C-alpha cells in the first residue's frame, strides 16, 4: 500500500530521455521539411492530444504518439532550464 503521507518521487530513465529527444528532433525536422511551424504544431499536439497536428512525413506522427504528452512537456522544460543555466 502506498504511503500517502509523503511526497512520491518519479525519475525518468536515461533511455527514455534519449528516446524522447530523438523523437522530438525527428518530428521537428519533419514538420520543418513540410513547411509547418514546428513549435505551433507540437504545442497544438501537446495541448489537444490530436495527432493530426503532426505530419505523417518521416513517420513523425506515429513516433510522437509513442511518447506520453507529459513526457514531451517534461523533456522540453528540462532542455529550457538547461539552456538558461537554471538549477533543477
pLDDT digit string (tens) for 1-47? 566 778 776 665 555 557 999 999 999 999 999 999 999 999 999 99
Closest CA to 28 of 72, 59, 62, 60: 60
pTM of the model: 0.76
Closest CA to 72 of 34, 25, 33: 25
Q: Map out the domains of the chain as residue ranges.
A: 14-83
Q: What is the tens place of the pLDDT at every residue in 50-82? A: 999 999 999 999 999 999 999 999 999 999 999
Amino acid at each position: 500500500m502506498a504511503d500517502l503521507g509523503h511526497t512520491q518521487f518519479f525519475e525518468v530513465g536515461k533511455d527514455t530521455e534519449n528516446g524522447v529527444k530523438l523523437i522530438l528532433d525527428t518530428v521537428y525536422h519533419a514538420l520543418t521539411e513540410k513547411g509547418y511551424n514546428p513549435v505551433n504544431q507540437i504545442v497544438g499536439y501537446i495541448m489537444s492530444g490530436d495527432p493530426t497536428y503532426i505530419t505523417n512525413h518521416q513517420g513523425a506522427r506515429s513516433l510522437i504518439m509513442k511518447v506520453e504528452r507529459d513526457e514531451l512537456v517534461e523533456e522540453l522544460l528540462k532542455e529550457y532550464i538547461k539552456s538558461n543555466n537554471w538549477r533543477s
